[in-house]
Amino acid sequence: MPNRGLLVAVVLLAVLAGGIYWSNQEEEKKAGAPAADASPKLLEIPEDQFKRIEVKRRDGSVAVVEREPSGWKLTAPKALPVDARAVQALVTALALVASDRVVDEKPAELMQYGFASPQLEVSINRKDGKTHKLLLGEDSPLGTSVYAQVAGDPRLYTVSTATRGALDKVWQDLRDRRMLTFYDAKIRAVELNGIAFTKSSDRWTMTKPQPWRADNFAVEDLVRKLGEAKMEVVPEDEEQQFPAKFAGSAPYAIAKTTDDQGTQQLEVRKDKEGNFYAKSTAVEGFFRLPAEAVESFAKKAEDFRDRKLFEFGFAEPAKVEIKHGETLRTFEKAGAEWKSGGKKIDPGSVQQIVDKLRELAATGFAAKGDGKVSAEYAITLAGKSPEKVTVSQAGEKFFASRPGDATVYELDGKVVDELRQLAADAKTLP
């Protein structure tokens, strides 16, 4: 009897071990298999394999881009440069197209799903010689997805409307829509309505209407806006009306940019309804521009003038001089310490003065400055000559001037008072 009990126990243990082994094997299979609700992939193509993409819409319009050694080009319906970002977005969208679900493994007929005349036919030619065609039919009844099929695959899928949006492109979406195609890093001159600027190193200088100091940020913003000015995407029959609309509109702005490849010009006009039409030497034709693209082109020369009195920027000065009337305070950097008259000064007190001078800016510009000198400020960077500003007062008005600069700057008297007080309150440390 004891031997029989032992035998039963051995058998049960073997059955249990086998069950555990089988269970583990099944779990391993499940782990290696895709989830039951995983989205089936319609297309999966390495991005470096894309050679040609054709997008054909239900209305008959076709856009074809082809990859050449120099990059992507639009080849149909017109041969034009492309918007590299727009084409890359299309490639990325096609590299992996996942479906929402499989509707039918082998549908009996596809007419009811819109494949007799698809919304979109996207054909892809690969470098390795393979081809793919993705068809998008009608929207699903709920309107949240679109019926889809891949040529050579009998299954009927749905894909999201977002996928359709990423693929539904006309040729105007893929072309380079910039009105000016200058190279930012090489630009050396820009002009807007007779206001001219030249660039030396990283600084812009106004040369017309007067040789004034230019606000570098304002000019850089103008250059950026000129580079971002893009034509609107409109139907071709509407675009055909633009030459006449341009001719009948009032002048709004003329801009010129010069880089190492030469000078380009953009002319913008505005009609009575507030629409903007433009032509450019960089691209053939007449186009409409969105209002936000040209709003900064109406600026005047004063909008580009530098109102800052000091140019030391974020550099740390080695010496600061503040003079009001006959009272002069000089602060000099000694290692990590500030000193005045041989005594240590609270660094925070000096920093307040430096910050106020760094932000010292004109409220406007005057034809001439009158009055008596009331203050003088100087900032010296290590190894450089001092940068100076002289302030004069005439009644309630304050004016500032810089050596070698014919501009007369108007100042808010409150700032002069604040600097006087900051200099007087600079704390001496024990």
Q: pLDDT of 329-387, one tens digit each?
A: 999 998 889 999 999 999 999 999 999 999 999 999 998 888 899 999 999 999 999 99
Distance CA 351, CA 149 (A): 68
Looking at the whole model, is its pTM more than 0.75? Answer: yes
Instruction: Quote the pLDDT of residue 371.
Output: 87
Average pLDDT, the chain: 90
CB 104 within 8 A of CB 177: no
pLDDT at 424 over 80: yes
pLDDT at 408 over 60: yes
Q: What backbone phi and psi angles, to 5 degrees, belong to 169? A: -125, 135
Per residue in 382-401, pLDDT (tens digit) is 999 999 999 999 999 999 99
Domains of the chain: 42-174 (2.60.40), 184-304 (no CATH), 319-425 (no CATH)
- Complete DSSP assignment for 345-395: E-HHHHHHHHHHHHT-B-SEEES---SEEEEEEEEE-TTSPPEEEEEEEET
pLDDT band of residue 5 (cuts 50, 70, 90) is low
Per residue in 187-197, pLDDT (tens digit) is 999 999 999 99
What number of H helices and E strands is found in the chain? Answer: 10, 27
